[in-house]
């Protein structure tokens, strides 16, 4: 399996908003040889950049860095427009675009932004994903569905090799969806033991659907608490994890404590069958450059070639 390590947002303590920091982050990631950069779909978060806009911007400033979304909320977006955006991005940055789709927004404040019929979000997602895939693989698409209708639609330029469509999620229904419809899985806030269970469920769902997902198309986020972490930010993160994962007795087990803990967690996740990782700090760091240099020294040697 190809072990690859990318980077999410790395906010710097006391610095101006994330948008102003983006050019420097991209330059440093490219310089340090990191595999990829990832943009989250956080409409109402201060300083957040729309993930598809972020990929387009990053494509113009980099030549090697892969560009991922983590995740794009699909229900509530027009899937034909999303397909057209991905087709354009794939032409601007061939083989570098890594789309990951999710069912619902991470922020409660964003839930009314992506409006869908009550109780139909999962159905809308499934149909929208099929529309996106069809438009990225077929020259002309006619689709008569419950939520979307297309008559002879197409996107241009049609990618010579369509990007793989990864999905997120942790609950059983989401994992089954990955097996039925997705090309890969990007998890979040899971222990190595949970990741192994998630991967196995996806494989079983793919088998039932007569599909196969490539063995190195399973990944997750790694949230690192460095030694110089902001204690208030870490406490706030732990409080969010208690709300989001009430089934976990101690949310500290979902985090990597220091670089030694990150290396050990990475090895255990690789042992569980995962090979793609997105690293982020638990909160603002004193120096973005120092954090990225530490990541380069401590974790990138675990990649293979």
| pLDDT value of position 17 | 63
Average pLDDT over residues 89-93: 96
Distance CA 258, CA 229 (A): 9
Residue 132: which pLDDT band, with cuts at 50, 70 and 90? Answer: very high
CB 256 within 8 A of CB 221: no
What share of the chain in percent tops pLDDT 90?
A: 91
| pLDDT value of position 264 | 97
| pLDDT value of position 198 | 98
- State the alpha helices, DSSP H only, in the chain: 18-32, 51-61, 79-92, 121-137, 172-181, 192-208, 231-244, 258-271, 288-298
Residue 292: which pLDDT band, with cuts at 50, 70 and 90? Answer: very high
Over the stretch 4-33, which tens digit does the pLDDT of each residue have? Answer: 999 999 999 877 666 888 999 999 999 999
Residue 111: which pLDDT band, with cuts at 50, 70 and 90? Answer: confident
Nearest Cα neighbor of 82 from 35, 36, 118, 41 is: 41
Over the stretch 139-180, which tens digit does the pLDDT of each residue have? Answer: 999 999 999 999 999 999 999 999 999 999 999 999 999 999
Over the stretch 232-257, which tens digit does the pLDDT of each residue have? Answer: 999 999 999 999 999 999 999 999 99
Backbone angles phi and psi of 183, in degrees to 5: -105, -5
Average pLDDT over residues 299-303: 96
Q: Which residue has the tokens 């969806």?
A: 177
Average pLDDT over residues 176-190: 97
Residue 88 pLDDT more than 70? yes
Residue 303: which pLDDT band, with cuts at 50, 70 and 90? Answer: very high
Phi-psi map region of 41: left, alpha, beta (phi>0 left; psi -120 to 50 alpha): beta
pTM of this structure: 0.95
Residue 45 pLDDT more than 70? yes
Backbone angles phi and psi of 186, in degrees to 5: -120, 110
| pLDDT value of position 156 | 94
Chain length of the chain = 305
Q: What is the mean pLDDT of the chain?
A: 95
| pLDDT value of position 109 | 87
| pLDDT value of position 19 | 80
Average pLDDT over residues 104-109: 88
Average pLDDT over residues 40-45: 92
């Amino acid at each position: 399996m190809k072990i690859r390590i990318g980077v999410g947002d790395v906010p710097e303590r006391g610095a101006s908003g994330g948008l102003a920091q983006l050019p420097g982050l991209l330059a440093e990631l490219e310089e340090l040889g990191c595999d990829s950069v990832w943009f989250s779909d956080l409409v109402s978060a201060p300083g957040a950049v729309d993930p598809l806009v972020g990929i387009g911007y990053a494509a113009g400033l980099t030549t090697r860095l892969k560009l991922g979304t983590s995740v794009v909320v699909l229900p509530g977006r027009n899937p034909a427009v999303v397909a057209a955006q991905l087709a354009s991005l794939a032409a601007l940055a061939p083989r570098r675009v890594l789309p990951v789709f999710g069912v619902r927004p991470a922020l409660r404040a964003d839930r009314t932004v992506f409006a869908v019929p009550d109780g139909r979000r999962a159905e809308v997602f499934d149909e929208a994903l099929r529309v996106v895939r069809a438009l990225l693989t077929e020259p002309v698409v006619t689709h008569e569905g419950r939520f979307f209708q297309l008559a002879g639609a197409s996107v241009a330029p049609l990618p010579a090799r369509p990007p793989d469509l990864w999905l997120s999620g942790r609950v059983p229904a989401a994992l089954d969806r990955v097996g039925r419809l997705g090309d890969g899985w990007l998890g979040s806030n899971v222990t190595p033991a949970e990741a192994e269970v998630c991967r196995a469920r996806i494989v079983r769902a793919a088998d039932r659907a007569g599909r196969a997902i490539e063995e190195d198309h399973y990944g997750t986020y790694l949230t690192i608490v460095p030694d110089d972490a902001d204690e208030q930010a870490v406490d706030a993160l732990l409080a969010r994890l208690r709300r989001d994962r009430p089934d976990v007795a101690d949310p500290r087990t979902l985090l990597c404590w220091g670089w030694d803990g990150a290396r050990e967690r990475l090895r255990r996740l690789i042992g569980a069958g995962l090979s793609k990782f997105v690293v982020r700090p638990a909160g603002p760091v004193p120096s973005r450059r120092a954090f990225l240099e530490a990541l380069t020294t401590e974790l990138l040697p675990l990649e293979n070639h």
